[in-house]
Structure 1
Amino acid sequence: MGEEEQEDEMVTCKTNREKEEKEDDAIATEAAAAAPYCYPTLRFDIPPYRSYHFYQQFRNASNPNNFLKSVNWSPDGSCFLTSSEDNTLRKFNLPDCVDTTQEDTCSSSLEDPYVADLIVNEGESVYDYCWYPYMSASDPTTCVFASTTRDHPIHLWDAITGQLRGTYRAYDAMDEITAAFSTAFNPSGTKIFGGYNKSLRIFDIHRPGRDFEQYSTLQGNKEGQPGIISAIAFCPSHTGMFATGSYSQTTAIYSENNMELLYLLHGQEGGVTHVQFSKDGNFLYTGGRKDPYILCWDIRNTVSIVYKLYRSSELTNQRILFDIEPSGRHLGTGGQVCCIFC
């Protein structure tokens, strides 16, 4: 056999081998997709493994009626932010070392297990706050969060030093500062979205000040989403869609690329106060004030509600939040009685 024939045979063998490897990979991928996902087992009939309290930091002689309003984990899981009735945001870092062999004694201790690493005092009631989506404790430049409060502009805070990194100001027809009722970063982290009365304002994160793009949520013929935009959530599957909830009892889904209104969802009995996409981005959950139900929508077919989850919140105007745990199987919600759904 000549050298050319040997080279041709080697090329043919290599091609066949690569083809077989691709076929094997395809078979393995298909089998993995068909296999049932092993969800973690969550037990709610036993006490928590470890619990912490922060009584001393939230309640004191000067403000005995202060209470915790919400908790927001950082994207990297290294810390969490809290909002309380005293118009204060507190950041708690997780302990550097947790001894898992010790028993849970924090719940019975008179002292808080650890103190807040950062305290940011806002001038008025905190409407909303959110982390920068690429926040990482190993990169101090990304450790920021945004907040919006009554009668104040949107603030961008340094989560390490507590310094104000930027202010994003919106003005009304009287050239007075108007506050956003909700705020969120877009998935790329380049813009801050603010929800206002019948409008959305979009700020470039790198250009603090009064420069913004404004979009009315109502069309010229009064179609669209009226009312205060009280909640904003972006689809995690990078489809360019985001949802907004309104006190007009409606939820709207927009395209971030051209701000086109894609769907307008009706069905909430009260003003919508919280919207959140499922982990795969196919479903949208909405909840409202004085409304006992969390609604599930399939954004691929929004003709009707997929199902409803009952929670005891029909007697309060407070914004009661919910969240989906990392595996995407369980949803937990606040309420007059705490609920967890599977």
Structure 2
Amino acid sequence: MKKFLNTPDSYVADGLAGLAAAHPTLTVVTGAAPFVRRTAPTRPGKVALISGGGSGHEPLHAGFVGVGMLDAACPGEVFTSPVPGQMVAAAQAVDGGAGVVFVVKNYTGDVLNFRMAAELADEEAGIVVETVLVDDDVAVQDSTWTAGRRGTGATLLVEKLAGALAERGADLAAVADLGRRVNANARSFAVALTGCTTPANGKPGFLLPEDEMEVGVGIHGEPGRRRQKLASAREVAELALDAILAEPLFADDAEPADVIVMVNGLGATPLSELYILFNEVSRALTGRGVTIARSLVGNYVTSLDMAGASFTLCRVDDELLELWDAPVNAPALRWGL
């Protein structure tokens, strides 16, 4: 294993310290219940958005704390859910009196801990919490990590679009409903060329022969639908789109689809290769009568040093496009300001 670190045990804490040093708009709260929050206090009457999960997926989630997106993020250890005390502390710190929306990826530990945190926040601090569960991955229905589909790339879209609505002053129910609608409109699929290496283990979670790839992989390196021979960028884009567009969201609707497309790197894929994949996605969608209304290409929801890419499509209307275009100022996503 070759990584830039001090010790495996301090990996997450050192990274958070560096994040705060690089971005004065963020404050890292340390101690028994660490979390990252906006340095500026929450505007009174504004709904607060909090997300979180295991570290190793950066910039998700702490990189999306900022104006127009999250108010706070709760990082666990690498690929390990944060604990309820972190979410409760974060909720108490950023609640503006209008309630809090938890954005939760569908992984068993995250779901249980965020659910407990919502109950504790209500009981201990009188904070009303709504939860948006993200379960966009079409690769597998169940896995060793989840009951139901995994939450992956659509998490970013939920955080951006719901965050924009909260910034406008919408109430708690409206923000949560919007987040659920985005999740219902989004589907994702990922392909990996290598496994990833966690600092604690020091070796890849799985090994692939040089001429094979994992199709339908999860963001923790969970196995997907199958292993197959390495394919061209065009073939990879086509197989991902075949899986996504086979969903009733797209297949049962005769109306042409307008979509936000995200081609996301899993940590070790060069940007040039992601643009090659996006070009193939663009070509394929044009041939299928799907219009790319907005696009995002880069490393946003990663799996440490995994070589691979995920593909996310989200059906949009004028309201969602307006929210997508709304200003955002977070370390890993910034426009309109």
TM-score by length of 1: 0.31
More strand, by proportion: 1
| Length-normalised TM-score, structure 2 | 0.31
Structure having the higher helix fraction is: 2
Q: Does 1 or 2 have the higher relative contact order (CA < 8 Å, sep 6+)?
A: 2
